Amino acid sequence: MGSRPAAGGGRWVEVDPERLPRWLAGFRERHGDVIARRLPDGLALTAADGEVAECHLLLGSAGDLDDLATEALRPHRLGLLLVRRGGYGIGVAQGTELVESKVGSRYVQSRTAAGGWSQQRFARRRDNQARAAAGETVDTVLRLLVPQAKVLDALVTGGDRRLVDEVLADPRLAPLRELRAERFLDVPDPKLAVLKTAVAGARKVRIRLPDTGSGPSG
């Protein structure tokens, strides 16, 4: 289970759907009975001692704690698009399994502090490399994900947000833009192992807690 600071205060913890009932039980044991309020993508919990936990699903909503656990475990069919300067990872997941995948690496030079004519030549070469990498990524998305757009529940993206946006700006990928989930995954250069790990990251329930350190660790 991961933990990271939340914008505006507090922290996010990420819980595997299979461990969510245990996490919720620990929250109630520590803080008392809870009152649940529906969110567009989950539940906001307020415990007897005033502790709060906002539980956010990738997809769906919930009316109570049982609904939350059920929705978290629902086996969605997801498209995955991970892009970084060093390459891309594209896949389709059914529930916990990665059922289709394609990864690729393209070298794009890092920026340099060199000046003058050499810097201009370097910048042109780097731009050409970046365009070639983006074009290869778009072509792979067209082959692997676009034909499945009608049966995907969502498209989960990750890596470098600017590069992902550039790929999805291609007009031919419009059906996927409509499926893009708000969730964005922080991943390294997308190798096959990273793509497999992204399936688990996409499924996690994200829970926002106040920055007190008192929330259960699961």
Instruction: Report the distance separating Cα 144 and Cα 175, nearest Å.
Output: 13
Hey, is 71 helix, strand or coil?
helix
pLDDT in tens, 13-32: 999 999 999 999 999 999 99
Q: Could you please state the CATH topology (level 3) that the domain comprising 77-202 is classified under.
A: Nucleotidyltransferase; domain 5 (3.30.420)
pLDDT tens across 187-200, in order? 999 999 999 999 99
Which of 27-31, 122-126, 162-166 shows the lowest mean pLDDT across its residues?
Answer: 122-126
Question: Taking the domains of the chain in order of start, what are their residue ranges?
Answer: 2-75+204-209, 77-202
Burial (CB count <10 Å: 0-12, 13-18, 19+), residue 217 = exposed
How many angstroms separate the first and last alpha carbons of the chain? 8
pTM, 2 dp: 0.85
Q: What is the residue-wise DSSP string for 75-125?
A: --EEEEEEEETTEEEEEEEETTEEEEEEEEE---PPP----HHHHHHHHHH
Is the predicted pLDDT of residue 107 greater than 50, yes or no?
Answer: no
